[in-house]
Structure 1
């Protein structure tokens, strides 16, 4: 700024000594404009670097390419709105600290810990042995929602929005969306999109099944609950599609595998 004021003052106080001085003044003004533009570019670059370092940039990290839209030029689209679940960074889930009754337990007390617990529970629930399933549901169910155990064993908890769930097989969760259901963040609904694989390669598998679990932080772990005060607030999100910008805006994220 001091250089700019000095230059301006020089231009307004120095007498015009001829055509050569006029060219010098024009050259100085051009240098000033270039310097100002370069400073602005560096400032913007610094802001973007900080944003990326904080993990707010959802773009894939494999390369510097950006996805293109059928609409062509996206220069007028606000940053972030062009991303989809397929092009954004997938969510890496957290590991459990322990296991009990054949199911992982001991997940971190955080939003990501809740999402990790929901995915792990849903993929590990036994669908073939009712006795094992009951032990698992008993282990991860809130003491304030005992009826959830029977409903879980019978396949009624988190009932998908369409289709019949195979009696056998395992689930593979592909995408999640989570929302807090209270002010403290200790009750969370985790919506999941998964494929239900038929056991032993026999029978039909289901793809893109939508289901959900409500988790409550209780006894130092995330427990499944169906308490009415939370179930009525769980709602249903916008449908998931990996290539949908609206699904990304809603909060759907792919689950990282491997």
Structure 2
């Protein structure tokens, strides 16, 4: 995690360094928004260590075959889940396409709420059943986000306050038949009372595991830092960093 988060004298929005999750709670286990959400420093323009190298698998074609770094497939069309539980789409196929589709849905649910009770409810749906504290941990995210946005940390979400994640690109790591790490690049819109919406670009990694007939989020163990992969979606830099496009939904 970059020390850019620790700098002072920035507008409060720049301190949204976790987006729906708490840095102090999750930096150890890796489920954090690994991005500065602010303009890059000049030194950040070099290719980050987390960027793929020739030969690496970075994604999948629509038919499930693997995409290697340097290929330029068309945007990946995500699959819908087979059913809804608490307004969360679940029931994805046991494939890498199913895992990527689930990761986009789950991150969108996790990062697009300022309601702690809603985050806890989402946790009961998307987390590996053996992760007993998932609902509690995920409920802390909106509280931390509200605090850093200068909003009340309890009670109803203030009128005209919202956050919304829109993933637009992806890549995959640590690929195995029953697990994969999906990394998303997306726009994060922050709306505060009396202010125009503000958009940031963020990097959002998520471990996925096939459990009990669906893709679930296990208790995080990520140690890699993917924040250096932040880039403008669709740019030449994004291509160098291995990002592949997602089809608009």
TM exceeds 0.5?
yes
Residue-by-residue CA offset, 1:107-133 (whole Å, 9 max, x unaligned): 111111111001011223451332222
TM alignment of 1:139-154, pairs within 5 A = 139-154=125-140
TM alignment of 1:34-45, pairs within 5 A = none
Output the CA distance in 1 between the equivalents of 2:234 and 2:140.
Answer: 34
What is the CA-CA distance between 1:150 and the residue it aligns to? 2.5
TM alignment of 1:1-258, pairs within 5 A = 81=70, 88-125=73-110, 127-155=113-141, 168-181=162-175, 184-199=176-191, 203=195, 204-228=197-221, 231-232=222-223, 234-236=224-226, 238-243=229-234, 247-248=238-239, 250-258=241-249
> Unaligned stretches of 5+ in structure 1?
1-51, 59-79
> Unaligned stretches of 5+ in structure 2?
1-60, 152-160
SS at match of 1:169: strand
**Greater RCO structure (CA 8 Å; 6+ sep):** 2
Output the CA distance in 1 between the equivalents of 2:163 and 2:194.
Answer: 9
Larger-gyration structure (1/2): 1
SS at match of 1:133: helix
Aligned to 1:8: none
Output the CA distance in 2 between the equivalents of 1:186 and 1:251.
Answer: 23
What is the CA-CA distance between 1:224 and the residue it aligns to? 0.8
Give yes or no for contact 1:195–1:205 (8 Å, CA) kept in 2.
no
SS at match of 1:154: helix
Aligned to 1:20: none
Compared CA separation, residues 185 and 164, structure 1 to 2 (3 A): farther
What is the CA-CA distance between 1:147 and the residue it aligns to? 3.2
Aligned length: 171
Larger helix share, 1 or 2: 1
What is the CA-CA distance between 1:220 and the residue it aligns to? 0.6
Task: Extract structure 1 runs of 4+ deviating beyond 3 A.
Answer: 80-83, 163-167, 199-204, 237-251
Output the CA distance in 2 between the equivalents of 1:196 and 1:239.
Answer: 13
Give yes or no for contact 2:120–2:134 (8 Å, CA) kept in 1.
no
Aligned to 2:7: none
Output the CA distance in 2 between the equivalents of 1:176 and 1:196.
Answer: 15
Compared CA separation, residues 180 and 131, structure 1 to 2 (3 A): same
SS at match of 2:118: helix
Give yes or no for contact 2:119–2:139 (8 Å, CA) kept in 1.
yes
Output the CA distance in 1 between the equivalents of 2:230 and 2:134.
Answer: 26
